[in-house]
Amino acid sequence: MRTFEVRDQFLLDGEPFTILSGAIHYFRVHPSDWHHSLYNLKAMGFNTVETYMPWNLHEPRPGEFDFEGIADLARFLDEATELGLMIIVRPTPFSCGEWEFGGLPAWLLEDRSMRPRSRDPKFLECVARYYDALMPILVPRQVTHGGNIIMMQVENEYGSYCEDKEYLRAIRDLMLERGVDVPLCTSDGPWRGCLRAGTLIDDDVLVTGNFGSRAAENFAALKAFHEEHGKNWPLMCMEFWDGWFNRWGENVIRRDAQDLADSVRELLELGGSINLYMFHGGTNFGFMNGCSARHTHDLHQVTSYDYDAPLDEEGNPTEKWYLLRDVVRDLFPGNWTADPLVKTAVSVPAEKIELTGRSGLFENLSNLAEPVRSLYPQCMEDMGQSYGYVLYRTQVERDTCEPERIRVIDGRDRAQVYVNEKHVATQYQEHIGEDIRYALPEKNNQLDVLLENMGRVNYGHKLLADTQRKGIRTGVCVDLHFVLGWEAYCLPLEDVSKVDYSAGWAGGTPSFSRFEFTLDEPADTYIDTTGFGKGVAFVNGTNVGRYWEIGPIATLYVPHGMTRAGVNELVLFETEGTVCDTISLRSEPLINHLEKEGVE
């Protein structure tokens, strides 16, 4: 039986072991590409893979568990084991990771008396139920049971959130009670205040740090904290940031490849272990992008999680990959290295892609959802919905020929207001609630408000703010009074095959555009969304993510595992009424003009 120990150094089977790890999130990479990414990690000379496992992916509804397809954790771990990679898993209830709500299930927000990510018994009961389903996958794959999992993380960057040691011990105990017996760890910012709040150092849970440069300085701070508590532990950076994520309307963030290689070399020459965050970033498929919390205007993240990592979004090696392999070959000449696997993507010109139908959202509401009726509008979570859109509808009587004052009170994240199915206004975050002046054209009018959940925050104090409940939380006022009598159409868009393309469409309103393209064989490609405004795209029924004309990335990556030989279907749900009758597929991503002009 193999062993892994944490002493004054890491010991694998009793021998000193430097952890050379890279993060690959199986849930951001199509299963058909798991081998490709894992092989390229090993070919770079690394020996370990690390991954989160997002709770909201695996328990989308209370008591309903999903470990199939892109959620097939067991298959991913076994693929890594077959390649000889050791494994670090982070089965923490909260992940962060620029993932929707930091991996917490949105259904936790239904109970306003519960405090997630705390010692609250109701929250811990939910975690226990989740672990009852998760741990039977992890426990048999521990190195102590003949597998390759060498370490598990208790919580993630908790020192940046709270200092509740009882909560941390409760999560640890839930893991131990279910058979976890490999070393446990935490990871936090490497300064004392963060480490003091977020670790279980006095309980012999390994303390690791997260940073992306200045290894000597950060390791010195980490070592000082170890010594303060009488520990002589090995030093490890659990998240060495080799790039960064991107947000709508901002420039693409890049890190110089040589600077990264030099910084990694510095860390390894200090005798430390490393986990590159990310090795392969992948894609926030569906509605799973996270959000950066700010005082008023939260910054939602884009669909691509390229991260400027050693592997690009498609999974192919970048300049960083080759420079890091050189570092490994120099410092660890005995490690196996090889040439990387490289894929190619295909392009399909617009003239070979046929528009086969376009139909409006208003014309398809009854096909997509049953209305939820209530006196006041209800937020998304109270209607049992986690992601996507809600269309709220009511009737409004005209009281004056002058412009009326319409206000959406307390809504998130983005509201589009229509009167008699004509667009009146769009408000985003901090502007929701401002006056919308509009003269109602008829004696009796239909008022529609389309609310989009653009992603819940994944880090910081706003995790439990009421802004994380999406949709309309209070109501809609016309003149000075709240309007009663609402129908809500929940639109998670889990099945767009129900759209009737013969139902018609009025220009300027939300719509579905259906295209067909033909491939000789399944292939990677990128959807060029130029000509459309904002929405989400579906390939053969799978939601590949959001697009938005403000960029910075104007394409959506489609892995070959989502395509097929022969005819493929592409559907764009467009919320702005900005449509185009042609669309093309590219063989590489399209970045907006900001980067092309050399803006860093």
H/E stretch holding 411 reads: strand 404-412
Q: What phi, psi does 487 have (nearest 5°)?
A: -115, 135
Give the HSE-up count for residue 137: Cα atoms under 13 Å, Cβ half-sphere.
Answer: 21
Residues 6+ apart with CB under 8 A from 573: 361, 493, 496, 510, 511, 512, 535, 536, 537, 538
State the Cα–Cα distance between residues 225 and 201, nearest whole angstrom. Answer: 9
State the Cα–Cα distance between residues 205 and 561, nearest whole angstrom. Answer: 40
Which residue is catalytic, options 50, 79, 239, 576? Answer: 239
State the Cα–Cα distance between residues 94 and 105, nearest whole angstrom. Answer: 9
H/E stretch holding 168 reads: helix 165-177
State the Cα–Cα distance between residues 46 and 327, nearest whole angstrom. Answer: 11
State the Cα–Cα distance between residues 281 and 5, nearest whole angstrom. Answer: 29
Q: Which residue do the tokens 């592997």 mark?
A: 311
Tokens of 475: 């109501």
Which residue is catalytic, options 50, 157, 381, 576? Answer: 157
State the Cα–Cα distance between residues 9 and 16, nearest whole angstrom. Answer: 7
Q: Which residue do the tokens 């991954």 mark?
A: 51
Beta bridge partners of 258: none
State the Cα–Cα distance between residues 499 and 141, nearest whole angstrom. Answer: 44
Is there a contact between 73 and 139 (Cβ–Cβ < 8 Å)? Answer: no
DSSP 524: B
Q: Which residue do the tokens 């003239």 mark?
A: 351
Residue among 374, 358, 341 nearest 524 (CA): 341
State the Cα–Cα distance between residues 29 and 73, nearest whole angstrom. Answer: 12
Annotation says 239 is catalytic:
yes
Annotation says 157 is catalytic:
yes
- Our CA angle for 80, 86, 87, nearest 5°, is 75
Is there a contact between 546 and 512 (Cβ–Cβ < 8 Å)? Answer: no
- Give SS3 for 578: coil
Residue among 448, 435, 442 nearest 397 (CA): 442
Q: Which parts of 310-370 are beta strand (E)? A: 354-360
Residue positions annotated with a catalytic role: 157, 239
